[in-house]
């Protein structure tokens, strides 16, 4: 774009012939002159076109286009505008204001009404619009040149923002990919764990099937079941996922072998028991006394409370009574005459009895275990273990429940006696 060595401000005066003065600025009503602020940079042809159009326009047309032409000419201020970093905010605002003064679209909108109204001036108007648009283009180029430093800063700022945005997007993408990878890994691990659990459950069902159906099988059925379990192979119970770790496969293999061994042991034990029952049809496994239930009768018996007052018991105070007289008891002491002191004597007898029986029974169990533990015949050992583990301890259970049972009656009667003595 060509430019004068020195840009100077000028005035462009256009004479109009109007009866009524138009309502516009820079109009001298006395001389009928409209003044436009321009510079020496305005091309001569543009000046001529402005003069011709303005001078031949009506009042209404002037009111429309004269302010717009003035606005277009205000772009000449671009020649004097420069970017000032020391007054950055105002300088940038000036740049933005210049960008908004006029647009190519605004040029068309300003001259279209005249173009439609005046048939013989259409070519003039087209040329005017073309000249204004070309001038606008040149002014915007010049504006960008004058504010190149600002535009460079903005471009760098935009580039940094774009780079930051791209970096954030890349980071987000990488994070998302990592999450997806982790999710895939988790899903795979879950599938592996699911396969392991399924294998373990399948193996565990072997033992469950054995124990749950043990009592429902005959001797022949037990032997067939033992043969079936002995035929099981690990490959039929192995996890179906291809990526199960080797150490886990080894662990599950050991678990399988232990379950098979345990199941066969349970079945063989049951077979031995059935053989023993067959060989000893006339011998019961346990004495009826030893099969007695836990002494629930003692627990269920109600505490006595319907005591009757007697003259003898009214004289009892602080556990003092006359010299006891012997009766029919086999206990090697003299019996007291009254019920209260008899209960005191019985309390001592019960304590000695239960404790001595417990000690004797526990020692008896130890002695039996010591002998049976060295037996070679497993069948006999199992027979005696059932007694020492299940039946014999019930005797101790009887002794532990006997004393609390006695104390229910003793305490109730003692409270009755003390209450009456008061």
pLDDT digits (tens, 9 = 90+) for 188-244: 899 999 999 999 999 999 989 888 888 888 888 888 989 999 999 998 999 988 889
If asked whether residues 128 and 176 sit together in one domain, one would say: no
Domain of residue 137: give its range: 9-146
pLDDT for position 295: 58
Decide if 233 is inside a domain. Answer: yes
CA atoms within 13 A on the CB side of 22: 25
More confident residue, 294 or 29: 29
pLDDT surpassing 70 at residue 321: no
If asked whether residues 235 and 306 sit together in one domain, one would say: no
Least confident range from 44-58, 150-164, 320-334: namely: 320-334
If asked whether residues 267 and 300 sit together in one domain, one would say: no
If asked whether residues 17 and 130 sit together in one domain, one would say: yes
More confident residue, 322 or 384: 384
If asked whether residues 191 and 305 sit together in one domain, one would say: no
If asked whether residues 274 and 301 sit together in one domain, one would say: no
Q: DSSP letters along 308-358, please?
A: ---HHHHT-BTTB-PPPB--S--SSSPBPSSHHHHHHHHHHHHHHHHHHHH
If asked whether residues 53 and 135 sit together in one domain, one would say: yes
If asked whether residues 266 and 214 sit together in one domain, one would say: yes
6, 39 in Cβ contact below 8 A?
no
The per-residue pLDDT for range 345-362, each reduced to its tens digit, is 898 888 888 888 888 988
Decide if 304 is inside a domain. Answer: yes
Decide if 152 is inside a domain. Answer: no
| C-alpha dist (Å) from residue 287 to 283, 337, 397 | 10, 41, 17
If asked whether residues 137 and 17 sit together in one domain, one would say: yes
Q: How confident is the model at residue 259 (pLDDT cuts 50, 70, 90)?
A: very high
Question: What token pair was written down for 352?
Answer: 């000695």
| C-alpha dist (Å) from residue 196 to 238, 262, 358, 378 | 8, 21, 51, 38
Sheet of 27-28: strand order equals: 9-15, 33-39, 27-28
d(CA 363, CA 371): 13
Spatial CB neighbours of 243, under 8 Å, sequence gap ≥ 6: 188, 192
More confident residue, 312 or 416: 416
Structural domain total, the chain = 3
Task: Give the residue from 249, 279, 309 where a domain finishes.
Answer: 279
Give the mean pLDDT of 126-147: 89
Decide if 134 is inside a domain. Answer: yes
What burial class does residue 72 get, using C-beta atoms within 10 Å of its C-beta: 0-12 exposed, 13-18 middle, 19+ buried? buried
Give the mean pLDDT of 41-58: 88
pLDDT for position 301: 56
pLDDT for position 412: 84
Task: Give the residue from 245, 279, 313 where a domain finishes.
Answer: 279
If asked whether residues 36 and 112 sit together in one domain, one would say: yes
Decide if 387 is inside a domain. Answer: yes
Give the mean pLDDT of 170-177: 91
Decide if 290 is inside a domain. Answer: no
pLDDT for position 212: 85
pLDDT surpassing 60 at residue 317: no
Contacts 24+ apart (CB under 8 A), 16-22: 16/54, 16/55, 16/57, 16/62, 17/55, 18/58, 18/59, 18/62, 19/59, 20/59, 21/59, 22/59, 22/62, 22/63, 22/66
Mean pLDDT across the chain: 83
pLDDT surpassing 80 at residue 37: yes
Decide if 74 is inside a domain. Answer: yes
d(CA 92, CA 88): 6
Decide if 159 is inside a domain. Answer: no
What burial class does residue 357 get, using C-beta atoms within 10 Å of its C-beta: 0-12 exposed, 13-18 middle, 19+ buried? middle
If asked whether residues 49 and 141 sit together in one domain, one would say: yes
If asked whether residues 269 and 305 sit together in one domain, one would say: no
């Amino acid at each position: 774009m060509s430019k004068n060595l020195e840009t100077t401000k000028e005035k462009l005066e256009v004479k109009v012939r109007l009866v009524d003065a138009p309502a516009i600025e820079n109009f001298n009503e006395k001389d009928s002159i409209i003044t436009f602020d321009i510079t020496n940079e305005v091309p001569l042809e543009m000046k001529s076109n402005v003069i011709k159009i303005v001078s031949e326009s009506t009042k209404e047309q002037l009111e429309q286009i004269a302010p717009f032409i003035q606005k277009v000419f205000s772009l000449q201020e671009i020649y004097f505008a420069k970017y000032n970093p020391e007054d950055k905010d105002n300088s940038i605002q000036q740049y933005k204001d210049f960008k908004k003064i006029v647009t190519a679209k605004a040029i068309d909108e300003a001259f279209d009404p005249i173009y439609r109204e005046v048939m013989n001036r259409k070519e003039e108007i087209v040329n005017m619009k073309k000249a204004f648009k070309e001038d606008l283009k040149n002014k915007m180029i010049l504006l960008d040149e004058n504010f190149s430093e600002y535009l460079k800063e903005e471009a760098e700022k935009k580039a940094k923002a774009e780079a930051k945005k791209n970096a954030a997007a890349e980071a987000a993408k990488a994070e998302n990919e990592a999450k997806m990878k982790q999710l895939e890994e988790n899903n795979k691990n879950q599938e592996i764990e699911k396969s392991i659990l399924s294998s373990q459950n399948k193996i565990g069902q072997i033992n469950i099937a054995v124990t749950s159906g043990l009592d429902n099988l005959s001797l022949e059925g037990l032997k067939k079941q033992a043969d079936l379990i002995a035929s099981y192979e690990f490959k039929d119970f192995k996890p179906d996922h291809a990526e199960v770790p080797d150490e886990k496969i080894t662990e599950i293999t050991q678990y399988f072998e232990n379950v098979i061994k345990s199941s066969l042991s349970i079945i063989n034990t049951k077979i031995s028991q059935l053989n023993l029952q067959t060989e000893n049809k006339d011998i019961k496994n346990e004495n009826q006394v030893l099969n007695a239930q836990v002494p629930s009768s003692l627990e269920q018996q109600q505490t006595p409370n319907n005591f009757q007052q007697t003259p003898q018991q009214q004289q009892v105070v602080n556990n003092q009574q006359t010299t006891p007289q012997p009766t029919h008891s086999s206990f090697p002491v003299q019996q007291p005459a009254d019920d209260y002191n008899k209960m005191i004597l019985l309390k001592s007898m019960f304590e000695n009895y239960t404790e001595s029986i417990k000690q004797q029974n526990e020692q008896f169990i130890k002695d039996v275990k010591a002998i049976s533990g060295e037996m070679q015949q497993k069948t006999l050992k199992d027979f005696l273990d059932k007694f020492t583990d299940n039946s014999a301890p019930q005797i101790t259970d009887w002794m532990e429940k006997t004393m609390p049972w006695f104390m229910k009656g003793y305490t109730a009667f003692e409270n009755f006696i003390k209450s009456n003595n008061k």
